[in-house]
Chains A and B, each alone.
Chain A
Amino acid sequence: MKVEEKDKILDIRDLDVSFKTSAGTVHALRGVNIDLYRGETVAIVGESGSGKSVTMKAAMGLLSSNATVNGGKILFKYKDENGNMTEVDILEKDTKWIRKNINGRHMAMVFQDPMTSLDPTMTIGMQIIETIRQYKDVSMKEARSMAVELLREVGITEPEKRLPCYPHQFSGGMRQRVAIAIALSCDPDLLICDEPTTALDVTIQAKFLELILRLQKERGISVIYITHDLGVVAKVADYVNVMYAGKIVEVGNVDEIFYEPAHPYTWGLLSAMPDLDTDDSRLYSIPGSPPNLLHEVKGDAFAARNKYALVADFIECPPMFKISETHSAATWLLDPRAPKVEMPEELKKRIKRMKDGVKNDD
């Protein structure tokens, strides 16, 4: 792998964020590392509350006012107005600077629920046009025709007629297409999709993912997917970050995560995927629930739910153990001193089935 030669556009290092709430301080991110290279797709997978969205909101400068960044770096590389490559640490800039220079220029985001993410009292045309005019000095008329073009690009028929419509006149799938059009209107280098298909019909989900894949290829955008749907991950991602309790516990390319998972939490996630071919009629779920981040976590946060947990897991937080150039996982099981532990038999069978399935498809 010639990782070093690729152009890294987003580099999140040891990001540590906590929130002040009425119940106390919630330590939401406990040192997150994410790499993203130009043109590639990274998925962040994890349960609700694992910190997926917070990480991306931090990158967008959208953290709510009760959030405190305790440390870390979010390095973002982009071409500035003069065409020079610039690298900034988002965390060092103030909100105004980020809004002016990063949001709507180089980074855009698509939110989970298209029913609530569009302004209900503004026409969809205006919502696209204002984004275009935000960073491009064009007349209303030019912006209008650009908006029409964008709507056509995301697959909305008769775009001229749709401009004066309001969001409530559109279906969920169409609204999500509009949201993409808004995100694309600034021609971003990085598109963050926060569970973009969760609120959509299953039949539309696939179409939607294909749309993003196509746009990504055409425009050379890097995409980050935040999702808990491993089906989406398998379909679109190049790299996968598995997140648990505010930490990345396993990172690797798609094949490594799906075929050679190393962290017991990833085993659990893969086992919990519904599957038609299984002999077992029970639906597997990971026992217990994620730790309450109001209290500091000692050792491996997953230890209490992990039947393979070692004594060390309860005492000290495991470091990332490197498995291959692209694959690493944070579990003491990978320590040379650890006893040899295999993934569960049922999961092995399932992975074999997945591999066979892929071969058959080819």
Chain B
Amino acid sequence: MVKYILKRVGIAVLTLLIITFLLFVLVRIMPGNPFPSERMTDEAIAAKREEMGLNDPILVQFWAYMKNVLRGDFGKGTSLYNGAPIKTVLNKAMSNSFKIGGMAILLGTVVGLLLGIVAALNRDKFWDVFCSVFSILGVCVPAYVFLIFLQYTFAFKINLLPYFFDSTAFLESSVIPAISMSLFTMSTVARFTRNEMVEVIDSDYVLLAESKGMYGWQLVNRHILRNALIPVVTVLAPLIVDLLTGALVVEKIYGIQGIGKLMVDSISGEGIDYNYVLALAILYSALYIGIMLVLDIVYGLLDPRIRVSKKGGE
């Protein structure tokens, strides 16, 4: 198991390094200018480029950048926020996105799992049909449609929740975005859990367990859940990252100062802010790889077929 984890960690670090380099190169060959060019003279831009070392060979630049990044310093914005340090801006944005995303994940996974389990245990009955209709809706309708619907109903019509995000009333104002963002995850998890459960319920080993005299919750708990949930863990990774990094459109519409909004701003501002784009892209990759790593390890812990090697038997 230790070998398995070490191997996974090694692969994760290597992947992240390669991705960072590729991103670094890609950002630099991207058309456009890193500075707010309308407000600066050509001479000023040239001086700024020289100052930032943009004329150095790319490997030299990468080396210098990596040294800073490893110290946790992503540099300053080239055009955004008048060159405020990225770390401060990013911290604020991450805090907003992660909190709302975290709520959406919690809501989506817990409700999704419950719905899937209830549907599978009541196959072809009301809850099963409800689950499939709900899943199709949740997967097909984009989060921002739900957002607008919730905004209209609960903020505009009955004035229960705030109309826009307000960091002074964090909890109330994150209800609407969290719910609308969670629906996709909820539907995916519900549908997947339901299908896996049904497959396990029909399996020979559950039949064997029943022939041993197990029934009801005991059967579900000991033989069905564990086997059905192992595959569910794998689909969770991309869903979690998507939610943590903030839904671009939802953040934009609801006015949340989060990572998604920051990403849009850093590309569509006066200039393409090299350092923001890079920092955010690295953050996305690191999150994705990190969560994949954690889930790989969880997966290994849950599934003996991965954890325990063949030896021991004949």
Interface residues of A (CB under 8 A from B): 60, 62, 65, 95-96, 99-100, 102-105, 107-109, 111-113, 116-123, 130-131, 134-135, 161-162, 164-166, 168-171, 174, 179, 182, 186
Q: How far is the CA of A39 from the CA of B146 in the complex (A)?
A: 67
Q: How far is the CA of A62 from the CA of B219 in the complex (A)?
A: 14
A111-B230 in contact given A103-B213, A171-B314 (Cβ < 8 Å)? no
Task: Write the nearest CB–CB distance from B132 to chain A, whole angstroms.
Answer: 16
A103-B211 in contact given A113-B204, A121-B304, A122-B222 (Cβ < 8 Å)? yes
Interface residues of B (CB under 8 A from A): 123, 203-205, 207-216, 222-223, 226-227, 230, 302-305, 308, 310-314
| Residue pair A121, B303 in contact (C-beta under 8 Å) | yes
Note all chain A residues with C-beta closer than 8 A to B227: 119-121
| Residue pair B212, A161 in contact (C-beta under 8 Å) | no
| Residue pair B208, A182 in contact (C-beta under 8 Å) | yes
| Residue pair B123, A65 in contact (C-beta under 8 Å) | yes
Q: How far is the CA of A112 from the CA of B203 in the complex (A)?
A: 12
| Residue pair A166, B213 in contact (C-beta under 8 Å) | no
| Residue pair B211, A179 in contact (C-beta under 8 Å) | no
Note all chain B residues with C-beta closer than 8 A to A162: 313
| Residue pair A186, B213 in contact (C-beta under 8 Å) | yes
Cβ 8 A contact of B313, one of A111, A122, A174: A174
Q: Which residue of A has the minimal Cβ distance to B207? A: A62
Cβ 8 A contact of B310, one of A113, A117, A168: A168
Cβ 8 A contact of B204, one of A111, A165, A171: A111
Task: Write the nearest CB–CB distance from A326 to chain B, whole angstroms.
Answer: 30
Given A120-B305, A174-B313, 4 further pairs, Cβ under 8 A = A102-B213, A117-B207, A169-B311, A186-B212
Q: How far is the CA of A108 from the CA of B209 in the complex (A)?
A: 10
| Residue pair B205, A109 in contact (C-beta under 8 Å) | no
Task: Write the nearest CB–CB distance from B298 to chain A, whole angstroms.
Answer: 14
Cβ 8 A contact of B215, one of A65, A95, A109, A123: A95
Cβ 8 A contact of A166, one of B205, B208, B304: B304
Q: Which residue of B has the minimal Cβ distance to A107? A: B211
Q: Which residue of A has the minimal Cβ distance to B223? A: A119
A169-B312 in contact given A119-B227, A122-B222 (Cβ < 8 Å)? yes
Q: How far is the CA of A103 from the CA of B212 in the complex (A)?
A: 5
Task: Write the nearest CB–CB distance from B28 to chain A, whole angstroms.
Answer: 49
Q: How far is the CA of A164 from the CA of B313 in the complex (A)?
A: 10
Give the one of B209, B215, B222, B227 with max A CB within 10 A. B209
Q: How far is the CA of A119 from the CA of B208 in the complex (A)?
A: 9
Note all chain B residues with C-beta closer than 8 A to A117: 204-205, 207-208
| Residue pair B223, A104 in contact (C-beta under 8 Å) | no
Q: How far is the CA of A117 from the CA of B212 in the complex (A)?
A: 12
Cβ 8 A contact of B208, one of A111, A135, A169: A111
Closest 8 CB pairs between A and B?
A: A104-B213, A169-B313, A99-B215, A103-B213, A104-B212, A117-B204, A116-B204, A166-B304
Task: Write the nearest CB–CB distance from A337 to chain B, whole angstroms.
Answer: 46
Note all chain A residues with C-beta closer than 8 A to B303: 121
Note all chain A residues with C-beta closer than 8 A to B216: 96
Note all chain A residues with C-beta closer than 8 A to B311: 169
12 contacts between A and B (CB under 8 A): A99-B213, A108-B212, A109-B208, A109-B211, A116-B204, A116-B205, A117-B208, A119-B209, A120-B227, A166-B308, A168-B313, A171-B313
Cβ 8 A contact of A121, one of B204, B214, B215, B302: B302
| Residue pair A62, B210 in contact (C-beta under 8 Å) | yes
Cβ 8 A contact of B214, one of A65, A99, A109, A123: A99
Q: Which residue of B has the minimal Cβ distance to A97? A: B215
Task: Write the nearest CB–CB distance from B94 to chain A, whole angstroms.
Answer: 36
| Residue pair B304, A168 in contact (C-beta under 8 Å) | yes
A105-B208 in contact given A121-B226, A168-B310, A171-B313 (Cβ < 8 Å)? no
Task: Write the nearest CB–CB distance from A336 to chain B, whole angstroms.
Answer: 45
Cβ 8 A contact of A174, one of B208, B223, B314: B314
Q: How far is the CA of A135 from the CA of B211 in the complex (A)?
A: 13
Q: How far is the CA of A161 from the CA of B207 in the complex (A)?
A: 27
Q: Which residue of B has the minimal Cβ distance to A114? A: B204
Note all chain B residues with C-beta closer than 8 A to A166: 304-305, 308
| Residue pair B312, A165 in contact (C-beta under 8 Å) | yes
Q: How far is the CA of A179 from the CA of B123 in the complex (A)?
A: 29
Q: How far is the CA of A168 from the CA of B306 in the complex (A)?
A: 10
Q: Which residue of A has the minimal Cβ distance to B305? A: A168
| Residue pair B304, A120 in contact (C-beta under 8 Å) | yes
| Residue pair B308, A121 in contact (C-beta under 8 Å) | no
Q: How far is the CA of A90 from the CA of B120 in the complex (A)?
A: 27
